[in-house]
């Protein structure tokens, strides 16, 4: 009986050591913030951090980083062991982002499905040759008529909501 207890205690200690070692080698919260800011093209002085926490999701440690710059909210999930961005999205609360290809905000001007796809592709820095499974469908969101634009690049899914009347990107998300 004593040997059995000893073996269990050693196994638990070994497992605990491995867990602590792998946890200790994770990137820091500050590094996760840097990764998110670099991706957003912003500096720490340009943002207000809303949420910064480390959590376990699907058995993997990750950082949830959320910050605001102007009227734009950014949400990032960053792998705590590698620093890889798992997913992020950006929501423009006041719809102030206008692409260079969007028509003027005129009630008679409507963006076509093809234009909405092009606006999303331009924003992502991609072409139609770079993506697979492009989908554009008209919907209503917060009282506005929008195009929901989705496409894939490798294992990443890009999702955009684009105002039908103005061509403004209302929000977008990239998921792994």
Max Cα-Cα span within the chain: 84
The SS3 assignment for 104 reads coil
**Tokens 């001007």 sit on residue:** 109
pLDDT at 141: 75
The SS3 assignment for 46 reads helix
Q: What is the pLDDT along the chain (176 residues), one digit of tens a residue?
A: 555 544 444 444 444 333 443 455 789 999 999 999 998 899 989 988 888 888 888 788 999 998 888 888 888 989 999 999 888 888 776 443 344 344 444 455 689 999 999 999 999 899 989 999 899 999 887 777 899 999 999 988 999 999 999 999 888 888 87
Residue pair 89/39 in contact by the 8 Å Cβ criterion: no
| DSSP state, residue 102 | S
Three-state secondary structure string covering 116-142: HHHHHHHHHCCCHHHCEEEEEEEEEEC
Domains and their CATH numbers in the chain: 27-91 (3.10.450.40), 96-175 (3.10.450.40)
The SS3 assignment for 76 reads strand
pLDDT at 51: 83
CA dihedral 121, 122, 124, 125 (to 10 degrees): 110
């Amino acid at each position: 009986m004593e040997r059995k207890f000893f073996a269990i205690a050693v196994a638990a200690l070994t497992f605990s050591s491995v867990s602590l070692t792998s946890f200790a080698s994770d990137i820091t919260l500050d590094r996760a913030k840097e990764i998110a800011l670099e991706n957003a093209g912003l500096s720490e002085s340009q943002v207000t951090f809303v949420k910064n926490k480390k959590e376990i999701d699907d058995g993997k440690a990750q950082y949830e980083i959320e910050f605001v710059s102007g009227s734009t909210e950014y949400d990032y999930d960053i792998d705590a062991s590698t620093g890889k961005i798992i997913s992020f999205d950006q929501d423009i609360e006041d719809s102030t982002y206008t692409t260079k290809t969007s028509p003027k905000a005129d009630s008679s001007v409507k963006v076509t499905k093809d234009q909405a796809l092009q606006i999303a592709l331009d924003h992502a820095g991609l072409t139609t040759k770079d993506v697979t499974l492009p989908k554009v469908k008209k919907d209503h969101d917060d009282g506005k008529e929008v195009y929901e634009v989705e496409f894939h690049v490798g294992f990443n899914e890009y999702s955009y909501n684009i105002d039908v009347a103005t061509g403004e990107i209302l929000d977008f998300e990239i998921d792994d």
